[in-house]
Chain A
């Protein structure tokens, strides 16, 4: 009776240690995020990327290649970039970008002729419309709402950061 009880206690202790080890292992290895390898491998090709904006099946970012940077829009369902006629110019340096959930509107900040400007690109029209800031300021970051109707812009005015909300028609 004593021997049986001792064996049971030893097995219980072994089980406890095993569970503790598994728990520690799980705590160390647990990461709730799962990378998307097919998309990430494609993004990693051909240079660095920055300033991601994720909305619906669209990822907008600024891609560096051969010493130049350009705005790219990736259709995540097809895992490939799509054409953006009239958006990237050789004399303009993109600074920040944001896309809506339909992939139709993209707000961007770029530097051109020594000025920093805010603009809205409409993909179906292939048009780029400058958005003036009132009062004037230097835009730094932009965030388009998922429905594409409201734009939040971080602006420097008189040495202070401010956030402007702009309603879009």
Chain B
């Protein structure tokens, strides 16, 4: 997995991802704080999210021994879509990450607390 800043061309370090290769299906949040991807862990594939701000790796195991094939992270980091194989066919499922990840807002967005946001 290579993460490169588009404007400068600088390659950015990824702390946790040198192991568990090969990697596939990378997906970035708005400002690149979160990188979601599928890694190989032993004989199984696992969806993970690297939080580049806190250097935390969040594994996202699936129930029932299901394995991810492709993923897509919402730009704000609050939802994840996974393509799985279930009952012999492709299936897409959505998951809420609201309690797991902070919002990664678009660059330039003014952040307010809910109390201040109220009129």
Q: How far is the CA of A84 from the CA of B95 in the complex (A)?
A: 25
Q: How far is the CA of A47 from the CA of B75 in the complex (A)?
A: 27
Q: Which residue of B lies closest to A39 (CB)?
A: B94
Q: Are B81 and A34 in contact (CB under 8 A)?
A: no
Tell me, yes or no, whether A165 is within 8 Å of chain B by CB: yes
- Partner of A43 from the list B80, B93, B98 (CB cut-off 8 Å) is B93
B40 within 8 A of A: no
- Contacts A52-B83, A54-B74, A165-B6 known; A59 to B94 CB distance under 8 Å? yes
Say which size band chain A's interface belongs to: 20 to 34
Chain B residues bordering chain A, tally (CB within 8 A): 33
Contact A33 B97 (CB under 8 A): yes
Residue ID in chain B nearest A61 by CB atoms: B92
**Chain A-chain B contacts (Cβ-Cβ < 8 Å), number:** 88
Indicate if B106 sits at the interface (CB-CB under 8 A): yes
Residue numbers in B under 8 Å from A59 (CB-CB): 81, 92, 94
How many Å lie between the Cα of A40 and that of B95 in the bound state?
9
Bound Cα distance from A55 to B79, whole angstroms: 9
Interface presence of A147 (CB below 8 A):
yes
Instruction: Return the chain A residue nearest B58 by Cβ.
Output: A32
Cα distance A39–B96 in the bound complex, in angstroms: 11
Q: Cβ of A40 and Cβ of B63 under 8 Å apart?
A: no
Partner of A49, one of B63, B91, B99: B91
17 A-B contacts (beta carbon < 8 Å): A31-B63, A33-B96, A33-B97, A34-B95, A36-B79, A36-B96, A48-B89, A49-B83, A49-B90, A50-B83, A52-B70, A54-B74, A54-B94, A55-B72, A55-B74, A61-B81, A101-B75
Which A residues contact B (CB, under 8 angstroms)? 31-36, 39-40, 43-44, 47-56, 59, 61, 64, 76, 101, 143, 146-147, 150, 165
Sorted from nearest, which 7 A-B pairs have the closest CB atoms?
A52-B81, A146-B75, A33-B95, A48-B89, A49-B92, A50-B90, A32-B100
Contacts from B to A (Cβ < 8 Å): 6, 27, 30, 58, 60-63, 69-75, 79-83, 89-100, 106
Known pairs A48-B91, A49-B91, A64-B89 / 20 extra A-B pairs, C-beta < 8 Å: A31-B63, A32-B60, A32-B97, A32-B100, A36-B79, A36-B96, A43-B91, A43-B94, A49-B90, A50-B69, A50-B90, A54-B79, A54-B81, A54-B94, A55-B72, A55-B75, A59-B92, A59-B94, A143-B27, A147-B106
